[in-house]
Amino acid sequence: MTTLQSIAAAAVILAVLIVVHEAGHFTMAKRLGVRVIRFSIGYPPKVWGVRRGETEYSIGLTPFGGYVRMLGEEVGEEPRSDELQNYVHELALDVLEAAQHHGWSTSSKDPDTDILVLARRLTIDEGNPPVRAVAATSGAAALAIAPAVTYPRRQPVEVLGRDLSPAEASVMSEISAKDSVADAQVRLGQNPPMALLKSFEERSFPTQSLWKRFAIVLAGPASNLLFAPILMTVVFLWGVPMLLPVVGQAKEGLPAHAAGLLTGDLIVSVDGKAVESWNEFSAAVKGGDGAPIKLGIERGSGSSIIHRDLTITPKREDEATVYGNKVPTWIIGVMPRGDEQTKRYGPIGAVEHGVTSTIEITETLVIGIWQIVDGSTPVRQALGGPIMIAQMAGHEAHEGFAAVAMFTVMLSLQLGIINLLPVPLLDGGHLLFFACEGLRGKPLKLRHREMALQVGLLLLVALMAFIIFNDISRIVQG
C-alpha cells in the first residue's frame, strides 16, 4: 500500500474515533441543557461548516483532532464581554433560523442583513418608523434625515411559529434600536440585561452543577471505551481470521523437537481438550505451570492422516511480551505455519466474544501504560505517533475489514484510556479539577487552573515532539 493510501486510511480511522469521542461530549452536553456552539472535526482554519439548530458542524483544515465548543469559557469565573457578544449573535441566528423554518424568505446571503430586517419586522410599528441619519449628497457637511425601510410589525408567532424568549426579545429589540447587529452585540456585551445574563448562565458549561460538568467531560473517553466492544461485536459477526494450530517449525534443542513434533502437524487437543486455534493451544501450554502435556495431533493429509499422541514437558525460558520486555514463560519450542481460517459467530456469541476481547485488550493496554510509567518498558520502544499510526493503518487496511476494525478498536481504547489520565488539557485533568472542587467545596482558583493548563500544554507539546522524532528515527534506522 502506498504512503498516500496509508495516510488516507489513518485519517479515516482517526476521524471516526474523533467523531465518537466528541459525540460523547456533544450528546451529554445537549442532554443536560448546555448549549453547544460548534462541533468540529479537525482544527481551524475552517474549510466547511453548516449550522443546524444551535450548533455549527464544521471540518477544520488541521487533521488528527477535533473539539466541541460549549457556551462559556471553562476556566473563566465570570462571562467575558466577548463571550456575551458571541452569545448575542447566536441568539439572533436562532431567531433567524426559526423564521426560515416557518417559511420566512431571506433576501440576502449575509445572515446579519437578514437578522436586521427580521428585527425590524418584529419590533417596529408600521405607523412609527425609525429615522436614519445619512450623509448629504452635496459637498456640504450637513446631514439629511431619511426614513429607514419600513415593515409592518408582526407578532413573533406569525413569523417564527413561536414566541421570543426574554433573552431573544432583548437582543432583537437592541438590534432594531441600534440598526446594526454588530453595534447591538457590543452594547449588550458591555451592559447585558438580566434576561440575557440569566439565559447565558442557564446554558453555559461553567455555571452547571458539578455532577453535570463531570458527566459531560467523562462522556468523551467513555464513548471511546463503549465504542470498542460494539465494533468488536461487529467484527465477530463479520468473521475473524483464526490462526490454526498447525506447526510451522519445531526448534532444535527444545521439547517439541525432541518429542518428534514435525512441520505440518495439526494439533487437535491438549490433555484431551479440543483446541481450534493457535491461541488456545499456546494458552494451554503456558498455563500448565510446566506439567507434562499430552498433545493429540494429526499428521498427513487426505486418507493418509495418522492420529498420534505425544507427551511433552514444557521448558521455562525468557520470552518477549507485547509490552516489549521479557518474562519467564513455559514453552515447548514451536512456531505456527500461518494457516488461517475465518470464523463467524452468531449474535450472542459475537457479543460475548466482543466484550471479553475488549476487556482483555483494555487490561493489556493499562498494564502497558503502567510499565512505561514505572520504566519496565523503554519509552522509545513503546510510543508511536502519527507516522507509526499511518504505517500500521496502511498495513491493516491491506489485510481487510476485520484487521482494520480491530486496529480501530485498539486505538479507540487507547484514546479513551489516555484521555482519562490526570494531565491538564486532557479530559482526565478536567476531571481532577472537578474532584478537587468536590473535596474543597469550591473550584480551584482561576490562577492555579491556568497555570496547570499551561504546564499541561507544555508537556503535551514536548511529548508530541518526542513521539514524532521517535517515528522518524524508526524510519531512518529501518
Residues 375 and 469 grouped into a single domain = yes
Q: Which of 182, 203, 224 is the last residue of a domain?
A: 203
Residues 315 and 357 occupy one common structural domain:
no
For residues 429 and 453, membership in a common domain is answered with yes
Residue type present at position 178: K
Q: In sequence order, what are the residues at sequence separation of 6 or more whose Cβ sits closer than 8 angstroms to the Cβ of residue 364?
A: 322
Q: Are residues 232 and 379 in the same domain?
A: yes
356 and 467 in a common domain: yes
Shared-domain flag, residues 224 and 367: yes
Distance between the two ends of the chain, CA-based, in angstroms?
Answer: 18
Buried/exposed 124-162: b ≥16 CB within 10 Å, e otherwise = beeeeeeeeeeeeeeeeeeeeeeeeeebeebebeebbee
pTM over 0.85: no
Does residue 268 lie within any of the structural domains? yes
Give the C-alpha separation, 75 to 157, whole Å.
Answer: 38
Q: Which residues contact 198 (CB under 8 A, 6 or more apart)?
A: 166, 167
374 inside domain: yes
The helix or strand, by DSSP H or E, that contains position 294, with its residue range, turns out to be strand 293-299
Q: Is residue 48 part of a domain?
A: no
Task: Give me the tens of pLDDT residue by residue for the chain, a chain 478 residues long.
Answer: 567 777 788 888 888 999 999 999 999 999 999 999 999 998 888 899 999 999 999 998 877 788 999 998 655 567 888 899 999 999 999 999 999 998 888 777 889 999 999 999 887 654 444 444 344 344 433 333 334 444 556 688 888 889 999 999 999 999 999 999 999 999 999 999 999 999 999 999 999 999 999 999 999 999 999 999 999 999 999 998 889 999 999 999 899 999 999 999 999 999 999 999 999 999 999 988 889 999 999 998 777 888 999 999 999 988 777 666 678 889 999 999 989 888 899 999 999 999 999 999 898 888 888 877 777 766 666 667 666 777 777 777 777 888 889 989 999 999 999 999 998 889 999 999 999 999 999 888 878 888 888 888 888 888 777 777 766 766 666 5
Residue 94 domain-assigned (yes or no): yes
Residues 186 and 300 in one domain: no
Helix 3-31 and helix 210-238: axis angle, to 10°?
140
Residue 97 buriedness (CB in 10 A; 0-12 / 13-18 / 19+): middle
Residue type, position 399, single letter:
E
Under 8 Å between Cβ of 204 and 71: yes
Same domain, residue pair 474 and 383: yes
- 134 with 181, same domain: the answer is yes
Beta pairing class for 315-320 and 326-331: antiparallel
User: Would you say residue 154 lies in a domain?
Assistant: yes
Whether residue 189 sits in one domain with residue 121:
yes
* 378 occurs within a structural domain: yes
In a domain, 186, yes or no: yes
Range of the domain at 232: 1-32+215-239+344-478
For cell 519445531, the residue is 250
Name, in order, each residue with C-beta under 8 angstroms of 297's C-beta and a sequence gap of 6 or more: 261, 265, 266, 267, 268, 307, 308, 309, 310
Helix (H, G, I), strand (E, B) or coil at 182: helix
Of 320, 343, 366, the last residue of a domain is: 343
Q: What are the helix (H) ranges across 102-140? A: 111-123
Judge if 93 and 179 occupy the same domain.
yes
How many structural domains comprise the chain? 3
Amino acid at 388: M
CATH (domain of 310): 2.30.42.10
Whether residue 47 lies inside any domain: the answer is no
Same domain (yes/no): 360, 461:
yes
